[in-house]
Structure 1
Amino acid sequence: MGEAKRRSIQGLPPKVIKPERGDKVDTSPRIASWLPLTRNQADRFVALTTKGAWVGIGALVLFWLTVRFIGPAAGWWTLSDG
């Protein structure tokens, strides 16, 4: 006898399947009715790209410091303007 049939014979309600931890349904409103993006998705995108921009700025500063100061001080190369 199957689970569904046993529950109906005993007068129990159907078994409710709980969503898994990773299956969260986004119930935030859409940005536009015709666009399949929600407000939460847009906020996460902005946060991710902002972090990515700061990482890029940090990498650029580190690269500039290496080219301008660390490389010549270590004798890896010489600057053409100095």
Structure 2
Amino acid sequence: MGEARRRAAQGMPPRQPKKANTKALDTSPRVVSWLPLTRNQTQQFMAVTTRGAWIGIGAMVVLWITVRFIGPAAGWWTLSDTP
């Protein structure tokens, strides 16, 4: 038995068609009239790049600590600046 017949037999209303994927439109003003970038997009870009920069700084600190302290202490290598 099909879905439509089953719903009709049970006295249920027909199934409503699925709504199209309606994304919320970005209604914020453009930065420049001829450039398709809105202010919300520029704020999102700044947030993502700032987060990426901090992740890069953290990774660099971890790498430096590993090269300078952990590696020599574990005997993986010796530093050239130590006598």
Q: Deviations over 1:44-79 (max 9, x none)?
A: 000000000000000000000000000000000000
Instruction: Classify the secondary structure of the residue corresponding to 1:71.
Output: helix
Alpha-carbon distance between aligned partners in 2 of 1:42 and 1:26, rounded to the nearest angstrom? 12
* TM-score of the two chains, using structure 2 as the length reference: 0.73
2:3 aligned residue: none
1:56 aligned residue: 56
1:20 aligned residue: 21
1:72 aligned residue: 72
Alpha-carbon distance between aligned partners in 2 of 1:75 and 1:42, rounded to the nearest angstrom? 48
Q: Percent identity, please.
A: 68
Runs of 4+ in structure 1 over 4 Å off: none
Q: Deviations over 1:12-42 (max 9, x none)?
A: xxxxx85536x22110000010110000000
Alpha-carbon distance between aligned partners in 2 of 1:19 and 1:47, rounded to the nearest angstrom? 30
Query: Cα RMSD (Å) of the superposition?
Result: 1.6
Alpha-carbon distance between aligned partners in 2 of 1:38 and 1:78, rounded to the nearest angstrom? 52
* TM-score of the two chains, using structure 1 as the length reference: 0.74
Name the count of aligned residue pairs: 65
